[in-house]
Amino acid sequence: MQLNTKRVYEPKADSDGMRILVDRLWPRGLTKTEAAVDLWLKEIAPTTELRRWFHGDQGTWAEFSKRYLAELDSNQAAVEQLRKLITEGPVTLLYSVKDETHNHAELLKAHMLRRA
């Protein structure tokens, strides 16, 4: 299983495989052609409420992680859809936030790898 994460603003690479945008909102300033997204799986992104809570500096990374993983546990349809795609070939999860360490795509990747 090859599962990677990458900022959607970075150029597409041959090694990306299927490029899946896992944000609920479309990235600012990018056209669909520039983003080179194969699938926009917004249903697997954190809920709007959780995203606003975290980005509004109301919560910690640890608490955000806990809440997002709980959302994933209750969102089996989207998780199963992603799991199936991952088994078919390389997948790159695309996200737009600037923090390359503390973002939901990294949590999602770890979650999917644990379930593999």
All residues at 6 or more sequence positions from 10 whose CB lies less than 8 Å from its CB, including other chains: none
**Is 86's pLDDT higher than 90?**
yes
Q: What is the DSSP letter of 75?
A: -
Alpha-carbon gap, residue 39 to 48, rounded angstroms: 20
| pTM, rounded to two decimals | 0.94
- Residue pLDDT, tens place only, 41-78: 999 999 999 999 988 877 799 999 999 999 999 999 99
Local structure of 87: helix, strand or coil: helix
In contact, 84 and 45? CB cutoff 8 Å: no
Rg over alpha carbons for the chain, rounded to the nearest Å, is: 13
